Structure 1
Amino acid sequence: MFSLFRPACWPTLSYGILLTATLALGSCNQTPPPAETAAPATPTRPPVPGPELTSLRDSNAVALLTEYGKAYPGSEVIVHTRLGDLRVKLYDDTPIHKANFLLLARKGVFDETVFNRVVKGFAIQGGRSEHRSIRMASYHLPPEVRPAHFHKRGALGMARYDDEQNPGKLSSNKDFYFVQGEKLTPYQAQAMAGRKLTAEQLKTYANLGGVPSLDGQYTVFGEVVEGLEVIDKIAAEPVDPYKWPKKDVGIKIDIVK
C-alpha cells in the first residue's frame, strides 16, 4: 500500500537570511545608541499529559497507549486543512490505534505535518513533513483489523511499510490515510476484496465507493462523518512524481469530543 515515501536523501529545505552588521567607529563625542530592548520570551507550551514520545518502543507501546487511552479518552477530531475540514469519528474497538492518534494529535505532532502522498481515486495519506521539530521514537502498532470496519470512502486507516521485514503487519505510528476510492458494482467489490463482504458492505461500496482490496490488510480505526468532499479536493491537488502535492496541504487536528 503506502510504502513509497519521499526519499530520505531529499534535502530538508531551510530558509535563512544572513545578516552582516558593520560597526561604525565615531568620535568620542558621538552619542551612544540606545540600549537594545530584550525581545519578550516565547511562552513555553504547557506539558501535555501522556507518555513522552521519545519513550515509546515496540516493547512498551501497547501498555503505555492502553493506559493513556483509558485516562484520556476521545471519540471525535477535526482535521483542519486549507481546503476544508474533516470531522472524524474514532472507533472504540481499535483502542491502540485510537489512543496513539489522540496522543500524537494532542502533542502537536500532526500539526507539523502535511498530506504527503496523494493518489487520486485511491487515498490521501498524511503524517509526514520536511519541517517537523517534535522528537519521537520509532515504534509500531499491532494490527487491529476488525471485520466490521472496511475501506469505504472516508475510512481512516493506518499505513505500514517494510512488509518484507514486517511479517506481523505492524502499523506505522504516524502515517495515516483517508480512503477516496471509486464506486464499484457488488461483483467488482467482492472480486477486489481480500475477504467475504457482507451485503451491507457491498451496498456501501456501490453507493459510496471505496477500496475493498485493502480490506483485512490494514487497520481501519475511524471514518469521516462530515467533510467527505474535502478528500476529493485534496485528491485533486497537482502532485510531484512522488505523489507529494506541489503546494503543501498542511494539517491541524483538534479533539472535539
Structure 2
Amino acid sequence: MEEKRNPIAIIVTRFGDIKVELYPKEAPNTVNCFISLAKKGLFDHRKIRRIAPGFVLQPSYSDFEDERCAISLDGEYRNNGFPNDIPFERGTVAMGGEGNVASGSCFFITLTDEAGKRLDGGYAAFGKVIEGWEVVEQIIALPTEKVDIGIPGVDVNEPIEPEYMEKVIVETWGVEYDEPVILG
C-alpha cells in the first residue's frame, strides 16, 4: 500500500517560490485551515508584514486586514496539551497565537535554530521549508521600517517597499482535507 504523501504548499513571490511540506498528522486542524484559506485564495496578493531578523519571517497578518481570515483555532502545541512533536528549528512553519489559541491565518517561518528554542512548544508548528531558502533570505534582507499594528509588545518590521506573497498554492495529491474546526 502506498503511503500518503504530505501536502506541499508553494508560496509564490517575485524572488521565486518557497516550498513548504505540511504535516497533517502532527497538526491536522492547523493544516486543514491553511489549505482551506489557500484554496480560497485568501493568502494571494497579501503584503508581507513582518520581518524579525534572526527570529521569524511572518508573511501573513491576514486576520488584521481581512475579516475572512480572522480565524481562531485550538492551539495544536505541547503547551496546550496537544502532542505536536514537530521540532522548532530553522525553516519550521507555524501559526502565531497567544495562550491556548492559535491564529488560523497568521503563519511564520522560523529563521534560526535559536529562535526555534524560544518558540518550541508554544506555537502550532505545521510545516517545514523544503525548498527556496534562498528566497526567504532575499526577503529578510529587504530594508524595513517599524510599523505599529496596535498590539503592545509586538515589534513589526515591514519592508519599506511593499513586498507580497503573490499566491499560495497547495498540492494535496488528490486528497481532500476537511474544513477547519474554528473557535466561536
1:163-206 C-alpha deviation (Å, 9 max, x unpaired): 4xxx4x2011211000112xxxxxxxxxxxxxxxxxxxxxxx4x
After the TM superposition, which parts of structure 1 deviate over 2 Å for at least 4 consecutive aligned residues? none
* 8 Å CA contact 1:88, 1:223 repeated in 2: yes
Paired position in structure 1 for 2:19: 87
Paired position in structure 2 for 1:157: 94
Paired position in structure 2 for 1:248: 162
TM-score, normalising length: structure 1: 0.54
> Secondary structure, in 3 states, of the residue corresponding to 1:231?
helix
Distance 1:227 1:137, change over 3 A: closer
> Secondary structure, in 3 states, of the residue corresponding to 1:156?
strand
User: How far does residue 111 in structure 1 lie from its aligned partner after superposition?
Assistant: 0.1
Relative contact order (alpha carbons < 8 A, sep ≥ 6): 1 or 2 greater?
Answer: 2
User: How far does residue 82 in structure 1 lie from its aligned partner after superposition?
Assistant: 1.2
Equivalent of residue 39 in structure 2, options 89, 102, 106: 106
The structure number with the bigger radius of gyration is 1
Equivalent of residue 148 in structure 1, options 80, 85, 95: 85
Q: Distance in 1 between matches of 2:23 and 2:36?
A: 15
> Secondary structure, in 3 states, of the residue corresponding to 1:240?
strand
Paired position in structure 1 for 2:56: 123
Q: Structure 2: where are the runs of 5+ without partners?
A: 78-82, 148-156, 173-184
User: How far does residue 147 in structure 1 lie from its aligned partner after superposition?
Assistant: 4.8
Amino acid at match of 1:177: F
User: How far does residue 211 in structure 1 lie from its aligned partner after superposition?
Assistant: 2.3
* 8 Å CA contact 1:139, 1:172 repeated in 2: yes
* 8 Å CA contact 1:77, 1:254 repeated in 2: yes
1:197-249 C-alpha deviation (Å, 9 max, x unpaired): xxxxxxxx4xxx65211101101000011111221111111111120111222
User: How far does residue 128 in structure 1 lie from its aligned partner after superposition?
Assistant: 3.2
Amino acid at match of 1:80: V
